[in-house]
Amino acid sequence: MSEKYDVIVIGSGPAGYVAAIRAAQLGLKTACIEKWKNDKGAGVNGGTCLNVGCIPSKALLDSSYKYHEAKEDLAVHGISSTGVEIDIPAMLDRKNKIINQLTGGIAGLFKANGVTALYGTGKLLAGKKVELTDNDGVVSVLDTENVILASGSLPIAIPVAAVDNDLILDSTGALEIGEVPKRLGVIGAGVIGLELGSVWNRLGSDVVLLEAMEDFLAIMDKGIAKESKKIFTKQGLDIRLGARVTGTEIKGKEVEVTFVVADGSEHKETFDKLIVCVGRRAFTDGLLAEDSGVQLDERGTVFVNEQCATNVAGVFAIGDLVRGPMLAHKGSEEGVMVAERIAGHKAQMNYDIVPNVIYTHPEVASVGLTEEQVKAAGDAYNVGTFPFAASGRAMAANETGGMVKIIAHADTDRILGCHIVGPSAADLVQQVAIAMEFGSSAEDLGMIVFGHPTLSETVHEAALAVNGNAIHIANRKRR
C-alpha cells in the first residue's frame, strides 16, 4: 500500500515550493512533485521562475546594464573606460550558476523542513489521488488528504510566428542567445518583451518591438506608461504600437516579419533573431484526469474562489494556474494562504495590494489602483507626483529619469495606488504597499521621517504633494 500524505503539491515554482514548505512547517506530511529537469537530466525545483523566468532574466538584465554603464555612462563620473567588451558565454555561464545555486537551495529547504521531493509528472485523479510518473517512467498512485495544484504557465504560441528556438524564439530560448544579434525583433511590448529587448539593446542590438495594442503598457497608469515610453525610446528601443504581426518567413539566416499598422498598411522588417513575447497561459496540459472533477474557466485557468479552493473539496490551485496577474510573489502568498487554511488557520490574502514590477532600467512598478481606475469608479481623488530629477540622491547617482505618483481618496486621504518609473522603483513601491496594507493616508506617509539623502525621499515628497505640501517642488493648484 502506498504511503499517504496530508498534502501533495504538484509543481515547485514560487507558488508550489512555498506552499510545500509552509505546509510542512505546520506539521503536515507533505510531498512536492516537479517535472523540471536540468541539462543533465536530473530533476530540479524552482519551476519557470528560477530556471527560465524571473531569476535568469534578471541576471541577464543586471549583466547587460553593467556592461552598458561601463561603456556609456561612466564619463559623467569622471571615469574613463576604453576597450570594454562583453563575453556572452561568460554572461550566460554566470546566469546558469545562479540558477543552479537557487534551485539547489530549494532542495536544501525541502530537506530542512521535511518536505518529500518527488521528481516526475503529477496528474490529479478522481478522489484526490495523484498519479506520479517519475523520471524513469515508473507510474504509481499516491494517496493524500489535500492536493495543491501549482503547475504554472507556458509562453503563448502564435501560428504566424512558429517558434523553432533558432531564429524564432520564445522567452525561454531568448535566455540562451549565444551572440549579439545585429537586428532583434520582439513581438509584444509587455513586461517580458521590454525586459528581454532591454538586455540585447544594451549589448548592441537594434531592437524593434512590435506591439499589437494601440496603448503602451495598457495595464499601467497612463501617466507612468507615457513617461516610461519616453525613457525607453530615448534608450534606443524602437517601440511600434498598433503593429499586428500577420506572418513570418525564414530567409536563410534571417527572419522576415510582416505586420499591419493602424491605418491598415502592410510593412515588412528583417531580423537576425525574433522573440515571441505575447503572454503566457496556464499550464494544465496533462494535469487533470477527465474524472478529476476540477473545473476550468473560460480562459483555461483553474476555477477557484478567493481562498484558492477549487470546486472539488480538498483540492486547491495557486499561482499562474488561477485568475489574477501571473506574478511569482502573488503565487507564493497564495501558497502560504492555502497551506495555512489546510492546517486550520483562517488565512486570507489581500489581492488589492499586489505590487507589479518591470525590471527594465529604470524600473517600472505599481501597486493598487491606477488614476484611470479611480476615475472610472467615480471617486474623488487627489494626486501627488515627484520627479527623480528633483532628488539630490538621484542626481548624485546620475539616475534622474522618471517620477513617483501617489493617488489618494479626496475625502479620507487613504492611499489608493502608487506608480513609479525610476531607479529602485521595485523597492520604493513596496514602502507604499506596506502603508496601504495598514490603511495609511497620504498624510501618514508624509509625516514619517525619511533618511536624507535617499531615493525614498521621492516617495515622501509625492505623498506630501497629494495635499499640496511638497517641499522640493512647486505644488500643483488644488482642484
Backbone angles phi, psi at 351, to 5 degrees: -75, -10
**Is 200 within 8 Å of 207 (Cβ atoms)?**
yes
Which amino acid is present at 184? L
Cα gap 421→386, rounded to integer Å? 11
Verify whether residue 452 is a known catalytic residue.
Answer: yes
Catalytic residue among 329, 452, 460, 472: 452
Instruction: Give the DSSP H/E element, type plus range, for residue 404.
Output: strand 403-409
**And the C-alpha cell for 395?**
542626481
Cα gap 464→175, rounded to integer Å? 42
Backbone angles phi, psi at 323, to 5 degrees: -60, 160
Cα gap 262→52, rounded to integer Å? 34
DSSP annotation string for 368-398: E--HHHHHHHT--EEEEEEEGGG-HHHHHTT
Burial class (CB in 10 A: 0-12, 13-18, 19+), 90: exposed
| Three-class DSSP category at 332 | helix
Burial class (CB in 10 A: 0-12, 13-18, 19+), 349: middle
Cα 188 off chain centre by: 15
Q: Which positions are catalytic?
A: 452
